[in-house]
Amino acid sequence: MNNDIQPRQSPNPVEQSAGFEPRRSTTLEGIVNTLEWLLVALILALVFRAFAVEAFQIPTGSMAETLKGAHYSLRCTRCGYAYEVDGDSSLLNRPQCPSCGYYQPFTAVGRVQNGDRIFVLKCLYPFFLLERWDVVVFKNPTDPRQNYIKRLIALPGETVQIIDGDIYIDGQIQHKPARVQRELWMCIYDNDYQPFGASGLVSQAAKTDPENRPWRQPFENEPNSRWNCCADGPTAFSLDEPAGQTHTLVYNASVANDFHAAYAYNNERMRQTEPICDDLMMRFFVQAGEPGGFVGVSLEKDDAHYIARAKFGETLIIEKQQNNIVMELAQMPMKQGREKEPIYFEFANVDHRLVFRFGDYKLSFDVPVRESTRQNQHQPAVKILGSGRMCLRHIALYRDLYYVSDGNLRATAQKPFTLGRDEFFVCGDNSPNSLDGRLWSIPGKDRMGRPFYREGVVPMDYMMGKAFFVYWSDPFSPAADRLPVIPNIDRLKTIIGGSEEVY
């Protein structure tokens, strides 16, 4: 039997009893639900922005070269080294390469890039203590309408001094964390970047540009030394002599970048007026040809020569040589077996600490701080030492960040600055070009614009958060006439702050 009758459905008892009629438009209901979800998402985003993480764009270069404001990205037209120049500059002065010292033509300057965009963690402060060397965002005490970004130097209750470019807290020098220190090394010379073409062509080009000197290799043999500075190509140094005699290369600062604490980023002809920085680091990879020899580096500071030697297959040694007297400071035995492979060599004299890395080994020594610490006024000597057969590659020389404290600045050796409760002291990484706690000359204002806080401090009330990630920097353009919208993955990075691990 053909059954065409459907079962009769009973009405909804709730709707029937309440007198409701079923909704006839599911489209309208979907729109209402979507708007509800968007409203909830907006509220959550506002709460997240207010109490958790907020995005900022850096407008100025006070934290360069760690973080950049509006800037020009350049590549040296002579050696190929990549660097940045402040975008606020009018470019009246030609940019200078931080590796080979070449003054770039104005035609090398392209389009200005916007400042780095960063994420700032805001919920940190009510629950966790701030650490020295953190990068923090805060309200400018002299004008609370502005947001500033600097590095945290001193905490509440501490007495801070800046002496010879270093930070002292309560009379003790402060060592930067290892990862922070690696961020702050600034290039003096990188041997992997050398002028294109033969030296004769470089010299010929210099004749039409008298501002630039003809390039020459800054590492030179001392008398009776036989290093080959153009071995297997111009970026490798080799020594092919029997072990026993020491052969020495010395860095000639008169033909290359010297040790003044100048910034290529600032694009200023002030190199000779900046103080000399003798907190230095040299690194390279060494491949030894035979046991019995050694490789070493000598760095001068305060008229003393500090020497790190790796005796292949034997020991690591740190020595001090002064007034023709050699004193051993530290020693470590070393196993044999890897000398024929390229081994990483690094020696640094930074914050009155000597750090010697050779492959997986690390040897360090704290140099006593003299009571009459003074600023060095002469170019320090930097040397590479070797005995036996070996080849060095990826040779580079760096200097530390130098906190400028000349003139009428705050927190100097003669004028210690003691912080009160809930007061912080900050400095920019671009020390010659940073308006920070050293320079603020008026009292901090409250949110009504009235003088309220002490000069030179950031109050806890104005701390906004800790910068922790660069999420957008130097994007690529899909075409010459298009806006840069392609992310530059190489520029994305974690912003390094304080930690217990020291360099």
Beta carbons of 229 and 237 less than 8 angstroms apart: yes
Query: Does 372 share its domain with 424?
Result: no
- Give the contacts of 247 (CB within 8 A, at least 6 positions apart): 221, 222, 225, 226, 227, 239, 241, 385, 386, 387
Domain span including residue 179: 117-183+404-494
- For residue 268, what pLDDT is reported? 66
pLDDT-derived band at 296 (thresholds 50, 70, 90) equals: very high
Q: Residue 425 belongs to a domain with what CATH number?
A: 2.10.109.10
Query: Does 215 share its domain with 354?
Result: yes
Q: Is residue 62 part of a domain?
A: no
Q: Which residues pair with 247 in a beta bridge?
A: 386
Distance CA 98, CA 190 (A): 9
- For residue 211, what pLDDT is reported? 72
Distance CA 70, CA 474 (A): 10
CA dihedral 371, 374, 379, 383 (to 10 degrees): 20
pLDDT at 199 over 90: no
Query: Percent of the chain beyond pLDDT 90?
Result: 59
Beta carbons of 300 and 279 less than 8 angstroms apart: no
Query: Does 150 share its domain with 279?
Result: no
Distance CA 212, CA 220 (A): 20
Query: Does 147 share its domain with 239?
Result: no
Query: Does 324 share its domain with 441?
Result: no
Query: Does 160 share its domain with 265?
Result: no
Query: Does 164 share its domain with 275?
Result: no
- Give the contacts of 367 (CB within 8 A, at least 6 positions apart): 306, 349, 352, 353, 354
Name which of 332-346, 367-381, 481-495 the model is least confident about.
367-381
Q: What is the DSSP letter of 502?
A: B
Q: What is the DSSP letter of 111?
A: P
pLDDT at 167 over 80: yes
Query: Does 122 share its domain with 256?
Result: no
Q: Is residue 88 part of a domain?
A: no
Residue listed under structure tokens 């060494």: 286
Per the structure, how many domains does the chain have? 3
Mean pLDDT score, 1-17:
42
pTM greater than 0.85 (yes/no):
yes
Q: Is residue 11 part of a domain?
A: no
Q: Is residue 93 part of a domain?
A: no
Backbone dihedral angles phi then psi of residue 295, each to the nearest 5 degrees? -130, 145
Name which of 29-43, 67-81, 172-186 the model is least confident about.
29-43
pLDDT-derived band at 18 (thresholds 50, 70, 90) equals: very low
Mean pLDDT score, 161-177:
96
Beta carbons of 407 and 401 less than 8 angstroms apart: no
| Nearest partner of 118 among 76, 67, 169, judged by Cα | 67
Distance CA 428, CA 443 (A): 19
Query: Does 208 share its domain with 314?
Result: yes
Distance CA 156, CA 174 (A): 16
Q: Residue 225 belongs to a domain with what CATH number?
A: 2.60.120.560
Q: Is residue 438 part of a domain?
A: yes
**The two structure tokens encoding residue 197:** 């073409």
Beta carbons of 95 and 85 less than 8 angstroms apart: yes
Q: Is residue 14 part of a domain?
A: no
pLDDT-derived band at 84 (thresholds 50, 70, 90) equals: very high
Distance CA 437, CA 442 (A): 11
Query: Does 433 share its domain with 338?
Result: no
Name which of 212-221, 416-425, 451-460 the model is least confident about.
212-221
Q: Is residue 340 part of a domain?
A: yes
pLDDT at 169 over 90: yes
Q: Is residue 109 part of a domain?
A: no
Query: Does 206 share its domain with 355?
Result: yes
pLDDT at 51 over 60: no
Distance CA 416, CA 426 (A): 15
**Final residue of a domain: which of 399, 429, 460?**
399
Query: Does 153 share its domain with 204?
Result: no
